[in-house]
């Protein structure tokens, strides 16, 4: 179980005064790509606890686990985004995200990298370019410090 304080701090970015409010994104790896989700939507980052599989569950559901008494449904983000499947590894983490309804879901990702700060103007609307199943969950892309980040809309992912 890692908490947010241990995540590497963001490298300061240069930006102009007129680039809009700055948002913080948590960067994680998934099937060889880097993704970002807004930090405010993440409650906690966990090393995967024992997960109980749920027979008859939708494919994207890994199973259920208990986080200090709270029952959490864990979604495999690879499956959720219809990416190539792979079982959890030592570096796998679960991001706990809270939906508008108050329900907390877990998102299984390959690894957690760092937190970056992006001004509004640094977020490129690029959903069309990605196409397919991913499009509805993507806010845009960002390129902080030479990275290529696909920014996901966390709310849309845990909503359904």
Partner 1 sequence: MAEISDKAREEFFSEAQEIIETLSRNLLALDTASREGSYDPSLINEAFRAVHTLKGLAGLFGATRLGSMSHRLEDLLDALRLGRMVLSAETLDVLFSAVDAYNKVLELEKAGIDQSLPEVDALLGKLDRLGAGVPDRSSPVSEYEFDAGMLAVLTEYEEHRLKVNVEQRLSLYRLRVQFDLATIDRALEQIKERARLHGEIITYLPTGETTSADSIELDLLMASKDTLATLIGALGADNVVIEEIPRRRAPDAPAPRAPLQSNLAMPLPSAPVRAGDSMPPPVRETDRGGPMEKERSLRSLTQTVRVDIRKLDHLMNIVGELAIVRGAFSRIAERVRNDGQRQLAAELMRLHRNFDRRLSEMQEGILEVRMVPLGQVFERLARVVRQISRELHKEIRLVITGAETEIDKLIVEELSDPLMHMIRNAIDHGIESAERRAQVGKPNAGTIALNAYQKGNHVMIEVEDDGRGIDESAIVERAVQLGKLERADVGELAREEILGLIFLPGLSTRQSADDVSGRGVGMDIVKTNIGKLGGVIDVHSEVGIGTKMTITLPITLAIVSALIVRAEAQVFALPLASVSEALSLDEASVRVLDGREVVTLRGSTLPICRLSRLLNLERAQDSLTRQGFVVVVALGSRRLGLAVDHLYGQQDIVIKPLGRSLRNVRGFAGATELGDQRVGLVLDAAALIEEMLVGSEQPRERAGVAHG
The contact set with partner 1 (CB under 8 A) reads: 49-58, 60-61, 64-66, 69, 71-73, 75, 99, 101, 103, 105, 160
Give min distance, CB of 159 to partner 1, in A.
9
Helix (H) or strand (E) holding 156: helix 154-159
Of 103 and 111, which has the nearer Cβ to partner 1? 103
Of 33 and 103, which has the nearer Cβ to partner 1? 103
Of 73 and 114, which has the nearer Cβ to partner 1? 73
Give min distance, CB of 44 to partner 1, in A.
15
Answer for the pair 149, 36: CB distance below 8 angstroms, yes or no: yes
Read off the tokens for 108. Answer: 């299984």
DSSP 102: S
d(CA 111, CA 65): 19
Q: In what order do the strands lie in the sheet with 42-46?
A: 42-46, 93-98, 104-109, 70-76, 61-67
Give min distance, CB of 64 to partner 1, in A.
5
Of 75 and 118, which has the nearer Cβ to partner 1? 75
């Amino acid at each position: 179980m890692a908490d947010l304080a241990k995540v590497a701090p963001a490298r300061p970015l240069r930006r102009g005064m007129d680039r809009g409010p700055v948002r913080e994104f948590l960067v994680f790896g998934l099937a060889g790509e880097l993704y970002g989700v807004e930090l405010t939507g993440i409650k906690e980052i966990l090393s995967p606890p024992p997960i109980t599989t749920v027979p008859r569950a939708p494919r994207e559901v890994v199973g259920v686990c208990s986080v200090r008494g709270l029952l959490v449904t864990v979604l495999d983000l690879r499956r959720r985004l219809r990416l190539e499947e792979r079982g959890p590894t030592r570096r796998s983490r679960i991001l706990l995200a809270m939906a508008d309804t108050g329900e907390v879901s877990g998102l299984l990702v390959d690894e957690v990298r760092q937190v970056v700060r992006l001004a509004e103007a640094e977020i490129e609307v690029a959903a069309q370019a990605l196409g397919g199943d991913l499009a509805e969950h993507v806010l845009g892309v960002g390129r902080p410090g030479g990275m290529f980040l696909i920014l996901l809309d966390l709310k849309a992912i845990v909503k359904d």
